[in-house]
Structure 1
Amino acid sequence: MNNRTRWLVLVLVLGVAGVVALWPRDKSPEPPPTSTRPTQDVAALRAQAQLRACVPGSEGGVDVTCLGDGTRTALALKGPMLINFWATWCQPCQEELPVLETYAKQPGAVPVVPVLVESRETDGLELLARLGVRLPSVYDGADELRKRVKAPMTLPATYYVTADGAVRQVTDPPRFTAPEQVEKAVR
């Protein structure tokens, strides 16, 4: 092998090494953020949020955390009920939650259960308090409920559970802007 060939091989090897070093790699998903707040702060946030009590758990339900008191409960997919998946970083969710609160206060309204996902529990409590939303809300940190109903990763995502337990996604409208839309969706 002559000198010129050696230099060519060396340049080629260094070029390939450079490409490999700079090639983008898939990052493994990061675990959901955990709260760094002391426990007493969570209790204060719960008191500030003043959420209504969660429905007691039932056998066969999905294990979630009641945001109002921090207890674990099994949320059964027994209706009629409206389930709304939301996150604190989701602006459309922040606009939709007060609409759901207004609807839920109407006589004969179907129970509404907001389900916090992809956010910290403490951040969810702060947002609900700021928005004045007092609905009995749950935290699905493990995404078990969202997996059970096969909910998409896009938010907000709302599901109507019928009296016989059938679950259907509400897509018209894709996001509620008025209580009348909620009423129409649960008929």
Structure 2
Amino acid sequence: MVKKVIAAVVLIALLGVAIVQAMDKKAEPENVSQEAANMGGLKVGAKAPDFELKTLAGDTVKLSDFKGKKVMLNFWATWCPPCKAEMPAMEEFHKEAGDDVVILAVNIDPHLDVQAFVDENGITFPIPLDAEDIVNETYQVLSIPTTYFIDTKGNIGNKYIGAMNLDAMKQYAKELK
């Protein structure tokens, strides 16, 4: 009899916890598609927020310094496998694009050995370091790598979440005005 009472008390307690949990869930807004909710980040067409960061080389870089140029703004980390996978393609794109497209690959884990990663992979484009996580938060990056393609007027022309290949980089840059 005691076992039945204990089992009933435990069952009622678990049921109570489940009800409280279910009532605590916040409803998703009905006017937001699931795809949009999953993507996060700044939207295509928005003005790209300006920022100022120190690069791995010690230079100061501001996004606004590149107004009038196409910019590929990439967020990455040294520990991220998809980030590592796209770096050779980014380096190739950098060499092919020349002065037509500026690549800014914002590193979000500068406390790790970014210089060794850059040296090991032969990266020659600028690597701004987001030591305070300010730019990452400003651009609302939820998943890395995330790449914003910014047009000559400073607007976000496109956004890509995940590792990109060379052809995708060329196509997104070509679509910019």
Calculate the TM-score normalised by the size of structure 1: 0.58
- Matched residues in 1 for 2:172 and 2:138: separation? 21
Say yes or no: does 1:145 pair with 2:122: no
Structure 1: stretches of 5+ with no match in the other structure: 1-59
Residue 67 of structure 1 corresponds to which residue in structure 2? 56
Residue 181 of structure 1 corresponds to which residue in structure 2? 168
Letter in 1 for 2:171: K
Residue 81 of structure 1 corresponds to which residue in structure 2? 71
Q: CA deviation at 1:180?
A: 1.7
- Matched residues in 2 for 1:119 and 1:106: separation? 27
How many residues are treated as equivalent by the alignment? 123
The answer (yes or no) to whether the contact 2:108–2:130 under 8 Å persists in 1 is: yes
Does the C-alpha gap of structure 1 residues 148 and 168 become closer, same or farther in structure 2, counting only changes over 3 Å?
Answer: farther
Which has the higher relative contact order, 1 or 2, with Cα contacts under 8 A spaced 6 or more apart?
Answer: 2
Secondary structure of 1:159 counterpart: strand
Identity, in percent, stands at 24
- Matched residues in 2 for 1:71 and 1:133: separation? 16
The answer (yes or no) to whether the contact 2:104–2:127 under 8 Å persists in 1 is: yes
Q: CA deviation at 1:155?
A: 0.7
Which residues in structure 2 correspond to 1:118-129 (within 5 Å)? 118-120=109-111, 123-129=113-119
Does the C-alpha gap of structure 1 residues 155 and 107 become closer, same or farther in structure 2, counting only changes over 3 Å?
Answer: closer
Q: CA deviation at 1:146?
A: 2.1
Q: CA deviation at 1:74?
A: 3.0
Alignment partner of 1:110 out of 101, 110, 116? 101
Alignment partner of 1:96 out of 55, 71, 86? 86
Does the C-alpha gap of structure 1 residues 129 and 158 become closer, same or farther in structure 2, counting only changes over 3 Å?
Answer: same
Larger radius of gyration: 1
Q: Tell me the C-alpha RMSD between the 2 structures.
A: 2.2
Residue 50 of structure 1 corresponds to which residue in structure 2? none
